[in-house]
Structure 1
Amino acid sequence: MSVSARIETVEALVIGAGPAGLMAAQELGRAGVQVVIVDAMPSPARKFLMAGKSGLNVTKNEGMDAFQSHFSPLPDALKSALSDFGPKDVIAWAEDLGQEVFTGSTGRVFPTVMKASPLLRAWLARLDNYGADLRRKWRLTGMDDTGAAVFQTPEGLRKIHAKATILALGGASWARLGSNGAWADLMPDATIAPFAPANSALSVTWSTHMTRHFGGAVKGVELRCGAYKSRGEFIISNRGLEGGGIYSVSRGVREGHEVVVDLLPDMPAAKVKAALERRKPKESLVNFLRKSLRLSPEKIAMVMEFARPLPDDLTPVLKGLTVSGAQLRPMDEAISTAGGLRFEGLTDNLEIKTLPNVFACGEMLDWEAPTGGYLINACLATGRRAGLVAIDAVTASKDE
C-alpha cells in the first residue's frame, strides 16, 4: 500500500544550507518572506566549517577587474552577481555579523579569530531572528508534477510547494560533508556539465629516497601548467603534492599538461648558469646546490626525483623542473569541482529556464575559480542574487 506524502505550502524554499543557501535565505528573511531551509545533513554548512579549520578565507581584497579575472569562463550571470557583491561587500557582511576581519599580506581576507564557527553561529542566529525555519536530514528526491519538492525525512516522505524555490545543492567533492553531486541525476542530462576535480592535489608515485621528505614544504617557487601559473609553495606528501601552489595549476593537469616548477623564480637563467659554472670539480653537487644556490633539501630532492639522469647543464632543470607522471587525486578529495548546472540553462537572474520560479546558486553551477577567497565569495554572491530575485517571484505571486 503506497503512502502519500504530506504536502506543505510556503512562500520560499531554500534547498541546501551551505553559504549560498544561507545567503539566499538571509535576503528572503530580511525582506520578511516566510522561508524554509532544508538540508540533507544533520547540521548546516559542514563544508564551510571544514574550510574554516585553515582560517576561513572569505574573499580576496582586490579590485573587481582583478578579482573577476580569476573566473574563467565568466558567464554574464556570474559576473553580474560578483559585481553586485564583491570583496568589499563580503567584508562588510562579515563585520555586520559582528565578525572582525583582517587582510593578509597577499590580500586574502580572514576572520580575526581564524575560525568559521563564530561567523556561522551569528549567521544562523540572524536567520532565526528573521523567522527562518531550518530543517535537518531532509534529502531531496525530486520534484513532482505540480512543482512541489519531494523529500525523504526522518518522519517519512514530505512535499513542499513554494512560490519560489532556491537550489543550493553544492558540488561533487567531500561527499561526507554533504556535497556528493547526486542532485545532478534529478536534472535533464543536457543541463549538466560533467563534474571534474578542481583545486586538486596531485598523485605521484615516489621512489624510496623521497620518504624522508614527506611533510616538507617546497617554498618560493613558480609553477606553470598549460595556461595556468602560480607563485607560492606546496607540500610533499606520501601520496604526492598538495597545497595552494598546486591547487592553482591543477586545472592544467586536468586539461592534459604537465606541471613545470621554477625552483629559482627570482634568479634569471643566465645568473643560475653562471653560478653553476663556478662549481669546483670535486665539490658535491648536493652541497653546491645547498650552499651556492641555497636550495632547500626538498628542492634538491625534487631535482633528483624528476631530472635523473642529470644533464651537464642544470640550468633548464632548475628553471623548469617537469613533474612527470603526476595525476589528479580523486574528485571527492578536491577542494571544489568544475561542472554542474550549465549557465545556458539559466536566465541572467539564475532562474532555471525549464522550471519557473526555481533558482540555482553556489557550487552547483558550472563555474570554476582558484582558492584564495574566490570560491566562498562567488557562493555568497550567487546566493544573494538568487535570494533577491526570489523575493520578486514571491511578491508577484501575491499580486496575482
Structure 2
Amino acid sequence: MTGALVIGAGPAGLMAAREMARAGLEVIVAEAKPSVGRKFLMAGKSGLNLTKAEPFETFLRAYGARAGALRPMIEAFGPQAVQDWARAAGQEVFTGSTGRVFPTAMKASPLLRSFLGELRELGVEFRTRWRWLGWDQGTVLDTPQGVRRIDPPVTVLACGGASWARLGSDGAWTKYLAGDAISPFRPANMGFRIDWSPHMAKHFGHPVKGIELQAGNTRSRGEVMLSARGLEGGGIYEVSAAIRDGAGLVLDLLPDLSETEIHQKLHTFRVRDSLQNRLRKALKLDPVKQAILMEFRRGGMADLPRTLKSLPVPIAGPRPLDEAISTAGGLRFEVLDAGLMLRNRPGVFAAGEMLDWEAPTGGYLLTACLATGFWAGRHAAAHAIAQGRAAAR
C-alpha cells in the first residue's frame, strides 16, 4: 500500500492519519516530543471543550476573516460530526448552558486513548522524538537513531502554532517554508498585563463573575481571574483579539441593571452612608468588584452609575506569545489549493493551528483543528491513490 507521513501528533495530525489509514494508506506519524497529544491533554485539564452546539452560520462567524476559507472543512466535519466522533470513541458528551460541548468524563485522556487505539488498529505507526528538519533530497527528520531521509508519496504537516512550546507548538517549522507563505504569528486567546496599584494584591487569585467585557464590537459575559500579571480567563480571551488589534477594554460591572436602576438603588440609602456600604448594600457589589471600581474609577458620585456600566481598564499589553492559548497567523491559505495542498510542493498538505486562522475559545479551536485534519487527510489520500494509479498505467 502507498505510504504517508504525518508530522505532528496533535488533534489535526491524528485526524489526518485516521483518514489516510481508513483509505488504505500505510501511515507514519512523526512527533518531536516524547509522547503524543500533549496540547490535547492540556486542554482537557479545563474540561475539554470539544465544540459548540449552535446554528452553523453562527458557529462559522467565530472564525472571522477566515470563515470563508474554513467553510468547506467545517461543513465536512463540523460540530455535530465532532460529537458523533467522540460518541463513536465511547465518550458520551453533554451540552452546557452556554452551548459548549464536553465529554461526560470532563477530561481528555479517555478520548485520546480511544483515538490512539483506533489508529493502531488501522495500522498507523508512531515515531516519537522525530523532529522535522525540512526537505533535502526527501523529508529530513532528526530521530534518536540519527538523521533520516524519507520520501513518502504524501505528507501532512500538522506542526501547530507558536504557543506552549513545551507541549510541541514552537513555530520552528516556519524556517522550512518560504517567508511570503507565512503570516507572522500573534497571540490569540491570551491574558493581558495590567499595572495594578499595591492595594489590589489581596485580590489576586480571585475570579470576577457577573460582568460583561467589551472591546470594540466584541462582548463577553465570561468571568475573568485577577492575577499579579493582569487579567486571565475565558472572559478576557473572548475579547482578546479586539484588544490586541487596538480596541480599549471596558467593563460593565452590573450588566443586568441599567444606569437608571443603579441610580435609583444608590439613592435608596442615606447620603451619610459610606460609598463602600452603598455599593455593598444597594448594589450587592462584592469586594473584588468594588476593588476594580476604585482602581480605575474617575469622576464623582454623579458619574457613578455610568462608571459602573462602562469602566475603562488601561491595558499594558498582551501576555507573551508562548503563554497564549492559541495563535493567529501561520501558513497562508493563498499558498494552498482547495484540498490544503501546498501549491509549490505537490503531495504536501497542511492542517491545524499552523494554518492562518484564529478563533475564540469555546470549542471553535478544537473543531477547526479536527476539521482541517480530516480535510487534509482525505485529500492527501485521494492524491496518493491517484498518483499510484497514474504510475501503474
**Same-fold call, TM > 0.5?**
yes
1:92 and 2:84 are equivalent in the alignment: yes
1:351 and 2:327 are equivalent in the alignment: no
Structure 2 SS opposite 1:200 = coil
1:172 and 2:162 are equivalent in the alignment: yes
> Which residue does the alignment assign to 1:59?
51
Q: 1:310: Cα distance to partner?
A: 4.6
> Which residue does the alignment assign to 1:224?
214
Q: 1:227: Cα distance to partner?
A: 2.6
Q: 1:216: Cα distance to partner?
A: 1.2
> Which residue does the alignment assign to 1:394?
384
> Which residue does the alignment assign to 2:314?
324
Letter in 2 for 1:123: F
Q: 1:279: Cα distance to partner?
A: 3.9
- Between the aligned partners of 1:52 and 1:237, the Cα distance in structure 2 is 22
1:238 and 2:219 are equivalent in the alignment: no
Letter in 2 for 1:289: L
Measured against aligned partners, the alpha-carbon deviations of 1:63-95 in whole angstroms (never above 9, x if no partner) come to 211110111112534111011111110000001
Out of 333, 339, 360, the position equivalent to 1:370 is: 360
1:46 and 2:8 are equivalent in the alignment: no
Q: 1:309: Cα distance to partner?
A: 5.7
Structure 1 SS opposite 2:205 = coil
Does the 8 A contact of 2:60 with 2:67 survive in 1? no
Q: 1:311: Cα distance to partner?
A: 5.3
Does the 8 A contact of 1:77 with 1:350 survive in 2? no
Residue 283 to residue 205, structure 1, CA distance change in 2 (3 Å): same
- Between the aligned partners of 2:247 and 2:273, the Cα distance in structure 1 is 36
Out of 287, 293, 302, the position equivalent to 1:297 is: 287
Does the 8 A contact of 1:10 with 1:34 survive in 2? yes
Does the 8 A contact of 2:2 with 2:388 survive in 1? no
Out of 323, 334, 340, the position equivalent to 2:330 is: 340
The aligned runs of 1:150-229 (5 Å cut-off) are 150-229=140-219
Does the 8 A contact of 1:259 with 1:322 survive in 2? yes
> Which residue does the alignment assign to 2:369?
379
1:21 and 2:13 are equivalent in the alignment: yes
> Which residue does the alignment assign to 1:6?
none
Measured against aligned partners, the alpha-carbon deviations of 1:91-149 in whole angstroms (never above 9, x if no partner) come to 000011111111111111111111101111111111000000110001111112x4x21
Q: 1:308: Cα distance to partner?
A: 4.3
1:254 and 2:244 are equivalent in the alignment: yes
Q: 1:55: Cα distance to partner?
A: 0.6
Letter in 2 for 1:80: P
- Between the aligned partners of 1:259 and 1:115, the Cα distance in structure 2 is 32
> Which residue does the alignment assign to 1:73?
65
- Between the aligned partners of 1:331 and 1:368, the Cα distance in structure 2 is 14
Q: 1:283: Cα distance to partner?
A: 0.5
Q: 1:50: Cα distance to partner?
A: 0.4
Does the 8 A contact of 2:20 with 2:27 survive in 1? yes
Residue 245 to residue 74, structure 1, CA distance change in 2 (3 Å): same
Out of 125, 134, 147, the position equivalent to 1:142 is: 134
Provide structure 1 residue ranges, at least 5 long, that are not aligned to the other structure: 1-8
1:312 and 2:302 are equivalent in the alignment: yes
The aligned runs of 1:101-120 (5 Å cut-off) are 101-120=93-112
> Which residue does the alignment assign to 1:36?
28
Does the 8 A contact of 1:149 with 1:159 survive in 2? yes
> Which residue does the alignment assign to 1:5?
none
Q: Structure 1 segments of 4 or more deviating over 6 A?
A: none
Which deviates more from structure 2 when the two are superposed, residues 264-273 or residues 333-342? 264-273
More helix as a share of residues: 2
The aligned runs of 1:3-22 (5 Å cut-off) are 11-22=3-14
- Between the aligned partners of 1:170 and 1:152, the Cα distance in structure 2 is 18
- Between the aligned partners of 1:77 and 1:23, the Cα distance in structure 2 is 19
Structure 1 SS opposite 2:219 = strand
- Between the aligned partners of 1:338 and 1:110, the Cα distance in structure 2 is 24
Structure 2 SS opposite 1:152 = strand
Letter in 1 for 2:240: S
Structure 2 length as normaliser, TM-score?
0.97
Q: 1:326: Cα distance to partner?
A: 3.6
Letter in 2 for 1:222: E
- Between the aligned partners of 2:65 and 2:377, the Cα distance in structure 1 is 24
Q: 1:179: Cα distance to partner?
A: 0.4
Does the 8 A contact of 1:77 with 1:349 survive in 2? no
Out of 101, 109, 116, the position equivalent to 1:124 is: 116
Which deviates more from structure 2 when the two are superposed, residues 164-173 or residues 300-309? 300-309
1:276 and 2:266 are equivalent in the alignment: yes
Residue 75 to residue 164, structure 1, CA distance change in 2 (3 Å): farther
Structure 2 SS opposite 1:220 = coil
Does the 8 A contact of 2:249 with 2:315 survive in 1? no
Q: 1:51: Cα distance to partner?
A: 0.5
Q: 1:273: Cα distance to partner?
A: 2.2
Does the 8 A contact of 2:61 with 2:67 survive in 1? no
Structure 1 SS opposite 2:107 = coil
Structure 1 SS opposite 2:241 = helix
